[in-house]
Amino acid sequence: RSNAIFRESTTAMWVVSAIGAFTAFMAATIAITQFDIKRVIAYSTLSQLGYMAFALGTGAWVASIFHLMTHAFFKGLLFLGAGSVIHGMHHEQDIRNMGGLRKHMPVTFWTFLIAAAANAGLVPLAGFWSKDEIIVGSWVSSSFPAWGNVIAIVGLVSAFLTSLYMFRLVFLVFFTKPRYDTAHLQPRESPPVMTVPLILLAIPSAVIG
């Protein structure tokens, strides 16, 4: 809503775009190193906010709001999915102590997979359309023709890192061999009060873009 003010200052636009690009990249690198399932998603949120910020800084106003909307669905789904995993694992949050949960928690697995793919920007899920618009918007920026290209490249690298940390999370949680005490812990699917919202959020996460 403040774009008319920012547009009058090239310096202000540059600062917003630079901080946004730095945030998108740096938060993504931090997410790769985390082992707490909620922390991975939290740093992912910071990274996606960086996308929205550098879109604003390069003049891609509509793309930024578009990503805010699509991101709301798949990131909400990721956090609820993480809650479902924590519930099924009896409050365990360390992904190093998980593994093989797709067999025990199929609804959580499939909905989480949709959210992860949408966050990674895979076609044709919601995140692809908005993230692609942000990167293209930066590349063709009339505010910063050359700087916009640099920002777009940072956005592409950050998108790759997003795929890396999201599917690292998916594989460590839902695939591989169980890394928990199977004798004392039996993971279970969450009740409908948790799985129904997951399904309801998975639909727009897949198609709203």
Do residues 36 and 94 touch, judged by C-beta distance below 8 A? yes
Query: Predicted confidence band at 21 (pLDDT cuts at 50, 70, 90)?
Result: very high
Residue 187, by phi and psi: left (phi above 0), alpha (psi -120 to 50) or beta? beta
- Per-residue pLDDT at 160 exceeds 90: yes
Lookup result for tokens 């931090």:
30
- Cα angle, residue 48 at apex, residues 30 and 26 outer, rounded to 5°: 30
pLDDT of residue 18: 96
pLDDT of residue 1: 84
User: Structure tokens of 177?
Assistant: 């061999």
CB atoms within 10 A of CB 142: 8
- Per-residue pLDDT at 15 exceeds 90: yes
pLDDT of residue 100: 94
- Per-residue pLDDT at 144 exceeds 90: no
CA nearest to 40, candidates 24, 28, 23: 28
Mean pLDDT for 3-30 is 95
Query: Predicted confidence band at 20 (pLDDT cuts at 50, 70, 90)?
Result: very high
- Per-residue pLDDT at 126 exceeds 90: yes
Q: For residues 2 and 53, which has the higher predicted lDDT (pLDDT)?
A: 53
pLDDT of residue 182: 83
Q: pTM, whole model, 2 decimals? A: 0.94
- Per-residue pLDDT at 119 exceeds 90: yes
Query: Predicted confidence band at 150 (pLDDT cuts at 50, 70, 90)?
Result: very high
pLDDT tens figures, 64-98: 999 999 999 999 999 999 999 999 999 999 999 99
pLDDT of residue 202: 98
pLDDT of residue 196: 98
pLDDT of residue 145: 82
- Cα angle, residue 5 at apex, residues 19 and 7 outer, rounded to 5°: 65
DSSP letters of 140-196? Answer: T-SS-HHHHHHHHHHHHHHHHHHHHHHHHHHHHHHSSS--S-TTT----PPPHHHHH
